Amino acid sequence: MMQNNNITPEMEDRMVDEAYQNLLNIYLSSNHRKKVEIIEKAFKFAREAHKGIRRRSGEPYIMHPIAVATIVIQEIGLGSTSISAALLHDVVEDTDYTLEDIEAQFGKKIARIVDGLTKISGGIFGDQASLQAENFRKLLLTMSEDVRVVLIKMADRLHNMRTLQSMPANKQYKIAGETLYIYAPLAHRLGLYAIKTELEDLSFKYNHPAEYERIRAQVAASEERRNELFARFAAPIRERLDNMGLKYEFTVRVKSCYSIWNKMQSKHISFKEVYDLYAARIVFECDDPSAEKRICWNIYNEITEVYTKHPDRVRDWLTSPKVNKYQALHVTVMGPDGDWVEVQIRSRKMDDIAERGFAAHWKYKIGEGEEEEELSSWLSTINEILKEPEPNAIDFLDTLKLNLFANEIVVFTPKGETLNLSNGATVLDMAFALHTDIGMRCIAGKVNHKLRPMSYKLASGDQVEILTSNTQTPTDDWEKYVHTAKGRTRLRAAINHQKRIFTEEGERRFKEFLAAHNIELTTSMLDQLIYKFGTTTKEELFRQIGCDMIALNEEMFIKKDPGSRFNWWKRNPFKGGSKEEAKADEPAKKGAPIDTKAVYHLTTKDGKSNYVIAKCCNPIPGDDVVGFIKADNTVTVHKIDCSTLARLKASQGSRLLQTLWEDHNDRYEASIHIEGIDQKGILQSIVNIISTNMSINMKRMNVTSDNGVFNCDLDVYISDAQVVNNLCKEIKKVKGVNSASRVN
């Protein structure tokens, strides 16, 4: 860490005071109502809380919240509540103060915003990259409660990007990537163009330092010639604008390094070939809002009288502004040197809104009492933008899902619908994700129009068509081809279902055959057949008959000497069972013998449990469980109704243990399946119950909606079974939900 010894504590205090004073000055010169008191209080509180802490750059930590608050007012235009929350945004996360302290001092509103910021922060800045997708989704969902959380987060990210230099290189790379895929598109959505452009350029600079530098140098090198060209281009237009009596600014705007680079990449062109390297912008002053549009068109007329316009490149954002309220008139004309030049025509107000988003509205609103109303209408518009994405704009959510998250992929159906699958998903996983029936009948897939086997691993962006056949039936082998939890569960269920049908069919055929040939059914005969065909159980024997693997004939009923192998089978009725059972036959290897007569207390000490959770039934503390002592003297706990346990009971009852849950300190994972009729707000209500009402941590949430049927698979972290039961009960109360239950 850098620390300059020449800086005395007094100098540092002065630096902090100055930064804070600057923040206040900006606030005081804005059109917000002056609520300096709360800001002052937040500043003092945060300064005290972060006392003695430094940022990586060596600065006192408080400089960061001040900078974030400054962005919040200066670049986003929010008021005292947001400024205070920005000053306090890292207090709960980084110091000993709690949310309750914040609420006691600053009230509910600010506390909720700080809470939102704290929640997002952990996940997105944390090292658990895989959790980011979920956290971001949570962020979006909780945002509607108070969109200021997102705006302040944006300011926080912007300042972190501006000071990224002091972070280690690997963090720089990660943060820059995240910024590009999450924050920049979000800023774009919110109409915060200036912030969006700066975030993109900063990300680009850290992700591709050499290319950034090269483009920056090329832009600089071409500046002189550009200015010359522009002067020549602008001169006749200026003359006309002057004649109109307008007060205006006519400037040339060079594209950002990032968008130049982006264009070069996507169009495979060189720097010189980027024809719209710069755009000309006319911003005129206008006191009369009703005259703004007319003036824009007048300017347009003047320009097109001088230069020929490109017929396809007139953009009228005046008559129909973008959802984020962007207004301007764009026209592309042929300049004196034969180059196409885009001219953007805007009033001062339109320009402010374009650069700073809705925040700019503040400047044009004066008058007591209007503030709260105006703020809430602004915030609700932003909510709308986020909830009802522009249909023809790139869906930033899809973009980020496609690019950022390694634990999840997004694939497309032939109709262009998207489907989220976990990483590693195969064609068969996708088939099962669509529907169990499609999975069961899957024979292969067409991935990007090429035929692929069902084991083919999908990648984000793949377009996948599932090929099915009515004669297809799933087999145990298929388990090798599914890699997602959902795929596995559905395949298992499908196979079991299929097996039951074949078993019944086989049993029916078997009995009919016996009756037709006058053979009497005896236990020993059945045993012999089971031995002969190596099927282990009579059900399996029937199943193989049912699906034509064994053909019935009279010969197979001729009695033969069972021999030693027959006896061997009798002794090992669970051959082919789980590894656990096989191991149990081995002698104990370690640990003191466990007293099977006493109640075994299931405890966790120093993070080490004296038990293992059985994979087959996944019990959690509070469930009724039975312990099973494995050969190595470890205890595995199964649910009391677990089918594996039932078999263990029959074969190795002496290894079972009565158990008692001692403590519930661990965080357990539970899965919940929710079904219902899809309706507006259903997901929001469910998430509210989970995150807000019950404060349960979500690990994963997967939602599908099929013909109006809403299906949601939810993985949560909980402390015991009661919590899951309560959660299910609460979720069932949500309108539209038909069932909510725990699954394994």
Contacts with 45 (C-beta within 8 Å, 6 or more apart), sequence order: 87, 88, 91, 105, 106
Minimum CB separation of residue 121 from Mn ion in Å reads 7
CA distances from 87 to 36, 104, 385 (A): 13, 16, 27
Give yes or no for a contact between 621 and 609, defined as CB atoms under 8 angstroms apart.
no
Minimum CB separation of residue 638 from Mn ion in Å reads 46
Of the pair 61, 661, the CB lying nearest Mn ion is at 61
Count of positions on this chain that bind Mn ion (CB under 5 A): 2
Minimum CB separation of residue 301 from Mn ion in Å reads 49
DSSP 8-state assignment for residue 692: I
Give yes or no for a contact between 665 and 714, defined as CB atoms under 8 angstroms apart.
no
- Tokens of residue 221, six digits: 């090198």
User: Is 305 an annotated catalytic residue?
Assistant: no
User: Is 94 an annotated catalytic residue?
Assistant: yes
* Best CA proximity match to 569, nearest among 545, 537, 542, 539: 537
CB atoms within 10 A of CB 183: 27
Site for Mn ion in 484-523 (CB under 5 A): none
CA distances from 537 to 526, 532, 569 (A): 9, 12, 11
Minimum CB separation of residue 193 from Mn ion in Å reads 23
Beta strands in 392-490 (DSSP E): 408-412, 418-422, 442-447, 450-452, 464-468
Residue 90 as a binder of Mn ion (CB under 5 A): the answer is yes
Of the pair 90, 200, the CB lying nearest Mn ion is at 90
From the list 53-61, 148-156, 173-181, 379-387, the region that binds Mn ion by CB under 5 A is 148-156
Minimum CB separation of residue 402 from Mn ion in Å reads 28
The catalytically annotated residue of 12, 40, 94, 527 is 94
Of the pair 90, 352, the CB lying nearest Mn ion is at 90
Of the pair 182, 625, the CB lying nearest Mn ion is at 182
- Tokens of residue 710, six digits: 């809403």
Phi, psi of 136 (to 5 degrees): -70, -40
CA distances from 252 to 221, 276, 280, 346 (A): 16, 12, 4, 14
* Best CA proximity match to 636, nearest among 607, 668, 613: 613
Of the pair 161, 645, the CB lying nearest Mn ion is at 161
Q: Is 214 exposed, middle or buried (0-12, 13-18, 19+ CB in 10 A)?
A: middle
From the list 84-92, 315-323, 362-370, 427-435, the region that binds Mn ion by CB under 5 A is 84-92
Alpha helices in 441-562 (DSSP H): 485-517, 523-533, 538-546
Minimum CB separation of residue 83 from Mn ion in Å reads 14
- Tokens of residue 366, six digits: 């004066």
- Tokens of residue 103, six digits: 């609420």
Of the pair 154, 184, the CB lying nearest Mn ion is at 154
| Helix H or strand E segment including 726 | helix 721-732
Contacts with 135 (C-beta within 8 Å, 6 or more apart), sequence order: 120, 122, 123, 124
From the list 90-98, 543-551, 618-626, 670-678, the region that binds Mn ion by CB under 5 A is 90-98
Residue 156 as a binder of Mn ion (CB under 5 A): the answer is yes
Minimum CB separation of residue 718 from Mn ion in Å reads 30
The catalytically annotated residue of 13, 18, 40, 93 is 93
Give yes or no for a contact between 708 and 677, defined as CB atoms under 8 angstroms apart.
yes
Give yes or no for a contact between 440 and 494, defined as CB atoms under 8 angstroms apart.
yes
Residue with tokens 């280690």: 168
Rounded (10°) angle between helices 63-71 and 80-88: 150
Residue with tokens 């980020």: 400
Tell me the DSSP string of 326-355: ---EEEEEE-TTS-EEEEEEEEHHHHHHHH
CA distances from 679 to 472, 685, 735 (A): 35, 11, 9
Minimum CB separation of residue 202 from Mn ion in Å reads 16
SS3 246: coil
Opening angle at CA 160, ends 423 and 170, nearest 5:
50
Residue with tokens 């005071």: 17
Minimum CB separation of residue 89 from Mn ion in Å reads 6
Minimum CB separation of residue 65 from Mn ion in Å reads 7
Give yes or no for a contact between 528 and 560, defined as CB atoms under 8 angstroms apart.
yes
Question: Residue 319 and residue 449: Cα distance in Å, rounded?
Answer: 42
- Tokens of residue 288, six digits: 């009369």
Residue with tokens 């006191």: 287
Minimum CB separation of residue 188 from Mn ion in Å reads 22
Question: Residue 202 and residue 176: Cα distance in Å, rounded?
Answer: 7
- CA 574 to chain centroid, in Å, comes to 44
DSSP 8-state assignment for residue 366: -
Give yes or no for a contact between 446 and 430, defined as CB atoms under 8 angstroms apart.
no
Minimum CB separation of residue 76 from Mn ion in Å reads 15
Largest Cα–Cα distance in the chain? 115
Question: Residue 33 and residue 374: Cα distance in Å, rounded?
Answer: 12
Q: Of all residues in this chain, which one has the CB nearest to Mn ion in the complex?
A: 156
Minimum CB separation of residue 137 from Mn ion in Å reads 21
Residues near Mn ion (CB under 5 A) are 90, 156
Active site residues: 93-94
